[in-house]
Structure 1
Amino acid sequence: MSTVEPAARRPVLLAVDDEPAVLAAVARDLRARYGGDYRIVRATSGNEARGVLEELRRRGEAVALILSDQRMPDGDGVSLLSAARDLYPLAKRVLLTAYADTEAAIAAINAAQTDYYLLKPWDPPDERLYPTLDDLLGDWQADAALMDVSARVVGHRFNPASHEARDFLARNRVPYQWLDVDRDAEARQLLTLSGEEESRLPIVLLRDGTTLTQPTTLELADRLGIARHAELDFYDLVIVGGGPAGLAAAVYGASEGLRTVLVEREAPGGQAGQSSRIENYLGFPNGLSGSELARRALDQARRFGAEVLTVQEVVGLDARGPQRVVRLGGGDELAGHTVLVASGVSYRLLDAPGVAELTGAGVYYGAAMAEADACAEQEVVVVGGANSAGQAAVFLARRAAKVTILVRADSLEKSMSHYLIEQIEGIDNIEVRTETVVAAAHGDGRLQRLDLAAKDGTPIETIDASAMFVFIGAAPHTDWLGDRVARDPRGFVLAGADVSALDGDLRWPLARDRDPHLLESSLPGVFVAGDVRSRSIKRVASAVGEGSMAVQFIHEYLADA
């Protein structure tokens, strides 16, 4: 029989199995590892587990993880875990299954978005149980922490400055509460109490009592204690860019004893950090969001001793003898033996009438997850045909009434992974329109309609749209590099063999001594990794690999210096 202890406020770990011996073993191992921080609750069937969850929900108790057997007399574990998602959407869901049911477990991951599956028996638990649950509970704790708000944002959904503040807080994983003056009585009351006009939104109220009116991201970072200034005068490795490549280099550099600092202009994770779901990353069979990947990597880097500075714009690179110096927008400098350029790319701006005026007011670049909830029961448009666009469309389709994907090409197959195409084909409220572009955007203070055209410019029709998410092309962040670092005609950084082939002022200066390393730029000691590298593969895994490889070449460079 299950028991729900009254007045206990520790989060719950729920174990479900119809075999008493197995259930007792699960509870024993959970209690041994997690009993100090969590309350272990048991249920002997799917129906009993549903009753337990409903009772916990009525009492306002938190459930962190549900571990359920697959085969039970009153139903299977997949059905239970799927139903549990409605009651506790943040709870991690794990299927406990026998080897013979592995195919069912994998299907559960795809169909019911189960977080993981574990095989019976799981002995020894230190190797086959706890590492998986440690990761899942770490993710749950990070998500739960976002419920304890550090800031309240009073704004308007279609106010660009309000969107910028929300996006900054969300991407930097600062817990905040959004209060829309159009929908929330509390928001209107706070606006009145502040004495500000609606034209001065957003207003950000911090936990310490500070009220900020139309704050910049720099003001928010300073007030919230986000690190922006370096602790040391000199480093072995200065990393520019906090996407997957930069974070991987920070982890490997710091773990191998290099004095490492990473500087990021917006938020850790880069463009990949905005992804709603990355499902083809090795080792995560149910996928993970870009923000989850960024948080895990950031925690790793800091644990090994890397410094991470955010909301810092890099404006220049200098070579001062053997030193490589990165200049920051506020006047600070970061000096080091080596620099890794991992500054990534950004989505190109959509060049159509009305788009610029409505950016931040219904038109967004990237996933803009802060806006996803506002799209409930709305008609939205995703522009682009690569994986990032497909991931956003699948995510938005859970809330929006309809999602229309506009693709300039004649099919998705040319730029999107097969698994995403299959998902999109199976979602009823997603429509894909090929050989179609946005000709113009219209709206009175916010996006309301889009003119569509064929890619040759021939008008097609006008459609209603409350939001448009743009994922077109990639423009590299390399203007700050100056004249010493060679780039291809599109601005991507050349490295390795491409540098060896250069002539003129940018020819490799150490040709008599050695060839450039595989990821080394035309300026010795300056390396490049990830999407910003010329001819790179635009995938998260390849960026992580290049960031890791770069550290090995940096060791070789330092050994020869």
Structure 2
Amino acid sequence: MRWSAVDIPSPHDLIIIGGGPAGCAAAVMAASVGMRSVLVEPRSLCHTLRRIPALGNVLGFTAGPALADAITADVHRSGLCEVLLSEHAEYLDADENQATVGLASGRRLTAPFAIVATGVRPAHLSETPWISHHSSSHLTTPPLWEADPSALKNRTVLVLGADRPLGTLLRAHPDLPTRLLVLHPAADDYKAEEARHDSRVELIRINHIALEEQQDGTLAATGTTNDGRTGRWPADAAFLNVGSIPATLRGLLATDASGYCPPDRQHPRVLTVGDLRSSRGQRIMIATGSGSEAALHAYYTTRLDQQRPGTPAQSFEAA
């Protein structure tokens, strides 16, 4: 399926799908060189960033909500970005001259380039092959990033996976008395490093575990460790911390074997940025840098297009 061409000229030089740090950085950079953009976001700008209580690797900010407020203000202050909140992008297409995005509302957006900054979404228990549980059980495993610190205080807690919300929790609550049994596959080793030296954490590398609810209402995990030993780990509660899955959309996006969308595999009119690109580069500052770089790529490529014979002039000018 391909969207048909739109007859009327587009009022935008750039479509941005996703309003996290990467998408917002693209909008601000585009405005700085005179490009008009439209940003599509189904919720609020930087909504995920607002739930990160402590930041340890972002220049100038130590908490997510403050950074989210600053980024949102910059987007609105830029003056050249039309922000479409509560809109969901469903489909992406492109041809030699333009990209087209279909929205759930039925609206179609076209521009010379589309920047896709849809990021990732939390993985579910059913999407985690190294964890199993009885289907008849009423076992619940809420995500760790939603955990109320009071639910962890003076308790032994199973943390299923060593994704980065673990490090965020420890930084945000350095004096919280708790014992965290972090069961994780070998693939999480590089993420577990930031929690390795915290005395409240026991990192246990495993191959597979099964969860069960005990008669007293507490939980237990049984399984095999990475070195082949069998283990059983009882706890008062369990939280899911298994990482994320790329949040793609239908159409033209090219994915690799892990479901991510590397920039070098995309159509020339489509630029992927932020966490959507790979699992190992998921940092806020890297995301903002990639969004800014993509906007400049679109700008300079369009300037080159202007210089080719028969190419209509664009509306923007360099700042």
Q: Select which of 416, 434, 438 maps to 2:204.
A: 434
Residue 528 and residue 403 in structure 1: after superposition, are their counterparts in 2 closer, same or farther (change >3 A)?
same
Alignment pair present for 1:384 and 2:152 = no
Shift, 1:541, TM fit: 1.7
Name the amino acid aligned to 2:102: R
For 1:271-312, what per-residue CA distance to the aligned partner results, in whole angstroms no more than 9, with x for missing partners? 55543322122334xxx2233322221121112133333444
User: Shift of residue 546 of structure 1?
Assistant: 0.9
> Distance between the aligned counterparts of 2:26 and 2:101, measured in 1?
17
Q: How does 1:160-309 map to 2 (within 5 A)?
A: 234-269=11-46, 272-284=49-61, 288-305=62-79, 306-309=81-84
Structure 2 distance, partners of 1:551, 1:329, is: 25
Q: Would you say the 8 A contact 1:243–1:273 is kept in 2?
A: no
- The residue type equivalent to 1:524 in the other structure is P
Question: Aligned letter for 1:338?
Answer: F
Structure 2 alignment gaps of length 5 or more: 1-9, 306-319
Contact 1:355 1:363 in 2 (8 A): no
CA shift for structure 1 position 441: 3.4
User: Match of 1:282, SS?
Assistant: coil
In 2 relative to 1, CA 258–357 (structure 1 residues): closer, same or farther, beyond 3 Å?
farther
Asked whether 1:531 is paired with 2:275, we answer yes
In the alignment, structure 1 residue 475 sits paired with structure 2 residue 245: yes
Q: Partners in 1 of 2:25 and 2:179 — Cα distance?
A: 37
Distance 1:356 1:533 in 2: 34
Q: 1:364 aligns with which of 142, 148, 156?
A: 142
Whether 1:550 and 2:318 are equivalent positions in the alignment is no
Please give the alpha-carbon distance, in whole angstroms, between the structure 2 residues aligned to 1:358 and 1:290: 36
Q: Which residue matches 1:329?
A: 104
Aligned counterparts of 1:316 and 1:348: Cα–Cα separation in 2:
22
Provide closer, same or farther for how the CA distance between residues 293 and 354 of structure 1 changes in structure 2, counting only shifts above 3 A. Answer: farther
Q: How far is 1:481 from its partner?
A: 4.1
Query: Which residue number in structure 1 is paired with residue 236 of structure 2?
Result: 465
Equivalent position SS for 2:74 = helix
- Alpha-carbon distance change, 342 to 250 in structure 1, aligned in 2, over 3 angstroms: same
Post-superposition shift, 1:339?
0.7
- Structure 1 position 459, deviation (Å): 4.3
Shift of 1:440: 3.2
Distance in 2, matches of 1:407 and 1:276, equals: 23
CA distance in 2 between partners of 1:471 and 1:531 (Å): 16
Query: Are the aligned partners of 1:251 and 1:301 in contact in 2 as well (CA < 8 Å)?
Result: yes
Match of 1:551, SS? helix
Residue 257 (structure 2) aligns with? 489
Distance 1:253 1:410 in 2: 37
Distance in 2 between the 1:487 and 1:238 partners?
20
**Cα 1:251/1:431, change in 2 over 3 Å:** same
Deviations 1:510-560 (A, max 9, x none): xxxxxxxxxxx2x22211112212586222221111111111101012223
CA spacing shift, 1:363–1:411, aligned 2, 3 Å: closer
Shift in alpha-carbon separation, 1:378–1:536, aligned structure 2, 3 A: closer
- Is the Cα contact below 8 Å between 1:238 and 1:336 reproduced in 2? yes
**What is the TM-score normalised by the length of structure 1?**
0.45
Give the letter aligned to residue 202 of structure 2. Answer: V
Q: How far apart, in 1, do the equivalents of 2:51 and 2:256 lie?
A: 27
Q: Which amino acid aligns with 1:324?
A: A
Moved more, 452-461 or 289-298: 452-461
The whole-number CA distance in structure 2 between the counterparts of 1:358 and 1:438 is 18
The question of 1:342 aligning with 2:117 is answered yes
Distance, in Å, in 2 between the alignment partners of 1:550 and 1:433 is 38
- Any stretches of 5+ residues in structure 1 without a counterpart? 1-232, 500-520
In 2, Cα distance between the equivalents of 1:448 and 1:311? 40
Output the amino acid matched with 1:415. Answer: K
Task: State the structure with more CA Rg.
Answer: 1
1:299-350 superposed Cα distances (whole Å, 9 cap, x missing partner): 2111213333344432111236733221223333333232101111234333
1:541 to 1:410, Cα distance in 2 relative to 1, 3 A: closer
Which of these residues, 191, 211, 214, is aligned with residue 415 of structure 1? 191
Change (3 A) 1:460 1:272: farther
1:432 counterpart SS class? strand
Following superposition, the deviation at residue 366 of structure 1 comes to: 5.3
Separation in 2 of the partners of 1:394 and 1:545?
24
Aligned partner letter, 1:365: P
Q: Which amino acid aligns with 2:71?
A: A
1:401, distance to aligned residue in structure 2 (A): 3.8
Cα distance, 1:374 vs structure 2: 4.7
Report the CA distance shift for 1:404/1:535 in structure 2 as closer, same or farther (over 3 A). Answer: closer
**Helix, strand or coil: the match of 2:145?**
coil
CA distance in 2, matches of 1:441, 1:366: 16
Whole-angstrom CA distance in 2 between matches of 1:535 and 1:461 = 30
1:301 to 1:406, Cα distance in 2 relative to 1, 3 A: same
What is the one-letter code of the residue matched to 2:219? Answer: R
Give the letter aligned to residue 263 of structure 2: A
* 8 Å Cα contact 1:437-1:455 kept in structure 2: yes
Q: How does 1:24-173 map to 2 (within 5 A)?
A: none
SS in 1 for 2:45: coil
Point out the structure with the larger helix share: 1
For the residues of structure 2 that align with 1:535 and 1:441, how far apart are their CA atoms?
A: 26
Instruction: Establish whether residue 314 from structure 1 lines up as the match of residue 85 from structure 2.
Output: no
Are the structure 2 counterparts of residues 403 and 298 from structure 1 closer, same or farther at C-alpha, using a change threshold of 3 Å?
Answer: same
432 and 237 in structure 1: CA distance in 2 versus 1, 3 angstrom threshold? same
Evaluate the alpha carbon distance shift between residue 485 and residue 560 of structure 1 in structure 2; reply closer, same or farther with a 3 A threshold.
farther
2:263 is paired with a residue whose SS is coil
Q: Give a deviation string over 1:101-160, Cα, whole Å, max 9, x none.
A: xxxxxxxxxxxxxxxxxxxxxxxxxxxxxxxxxxxxxxxxxxxxxxxxxxxxxxxxxxxx
